[in-house]
Amino acid sequence: MRIVKYDKKYLLVGCGKINPPFKGVNADRIVAYSTEDFVNITYHGMVRPFDSRNAAPFFEPVNGQHYMLLRLHSNIHLDFLEAGMEQLLNPSKYTEYWEKIYDRRNQSLLLENGLYPHEKEKIGLGPPIVKTDKGWLLIYHAVGEIETDICKAYGLAEKIERGYSICAALLDLNDPRKVLCRTRNPIYIPSAPYELYGNDQYLVDVPAVVFPVGAIVRKGKLLVYAGSADKYTILLSCKLDSLVNYLWRHCRSVR
């Protein structure tokens, strides 16, 4: 579930299931809720025309367009809502517009998987977008092989054959369809027992998983909430400027 503050409401955008056994191909659908107080929650419906698990709208329009990030298949896409935020809050009314989003998916591709070993299986949206002075900060997850050199930086002796990792990109402030920067290596990988393979103290459900879903900025610090091993919640933090400057200086011109 992604939480996006929009106007006076909080939008809760999550994943619904339609096909038993509720996993695998063509089972996931975007669902939308809203609340003003997190006590009273309104369900707005499901986006039925296509399979998508990770999705979140921008919290404000960009040059009059209401953009939304989606995962279609194994990649991250960025498209706009022709009916504005009402399209998300009343999805059944705008089925035709959602179908058009799927039909033009080849044009809306933002980040493609497979560029690096740790992204070779799939990538998908993490927390909702974060606005910075240099661009829209997109934190996303990747699934693939995490190589030995990266693992050694975290004190691990061997590569992770299949693991989730956390990556980042910067999008242009005026046209978020333009990718300004993209990390070549993950900014975080599973390395603690409760993220990796578990031990006597920490049992894990799915090994080698760190999965970012929430982010807030407080006093210049970026706080990222992530799931680990499909069992625990972890909190990661860094100076927002440090991450943005790293992206700007070392990760530009990579799509």
Per-residue H/E/C for the chain: CEEEEECCEEEEEEEEECCCCCCCCCCEEEEEEEECCCCCEEEEEEECCCCCCCEEECCCCECCECEEEEEECCEEEEEECCCCCHHHHCHHHHHHHHHHHHHCCCCCEEECCCCCHHHCCEEEECCCCEECCCCEEEEEEEEEEECHHHHHHCCCCCCEEEEEEEEEEEECCCCCCCEEEECCCCCECCCCCCCCCCCCCCCCCCCCCEEEEEEEEECCEEEEEEEECCCEEEEEEEEHHHHHHHHHHHCECCC
Residues 227 and 141 placed together within one structural domain of the fold: yes
Query: Which residue has tokens 């103290």?
Result: 201
Picking from 90, 111, 132, the residue at the C-terminal end of a domain is 111
Residues 236 and 146 placed together within one structural domain of the fold: yes
Residues 124 and 234 placed together within one structural domain of the fold: yes
Residues 93 and 142 placed together within one structural domain of the fold: no
Please state the rounded mean pLDDT for residues 240-251.
Answer: 97
State how beta strands 55-57 and 221-228 pair. Answer: unpaired
On whether the pTM is more than 0.75, the answer is: yes
The whole domain housing 137 covers 112-255
Tally of domains within the chain: 2
Picking from 111, 143, 162, the residue at the C-terminal end of a domain is 111
pLDDT digits (tens, 9 = 90+) for 40-80: 999 999 999 999 989 999 999 999 999 999 999 899 999 99
When pLDDT is cut at 50, 70 and 90, the band that residue 148 belongs to is very high
Residues 85 and 142 placed together within one structural domain of the fold: no
Picking from 111, 135, 158, the residue at the C-terminal end of a domain is 111
Would you say 76 and 111 are in contact if contact means Cβ atoms under 8 Å apart? yes
pLDDT digits (tens, 9 = 90+) for 78-95: 999 999 999 999 999 999
Dist CA 14 CA 32 (whole Å) = 6
In this structure, what CATH number is given to the domain that contains residue 159?
A: 2.115.10.20
Return the percentage of the chain with pLDDT > 90, whole number.
Answer: 92
pLDDT digits (tens, 9 = 90+) for 190-224: 999 999 999 999 999 999 999 999 999 999 999 99
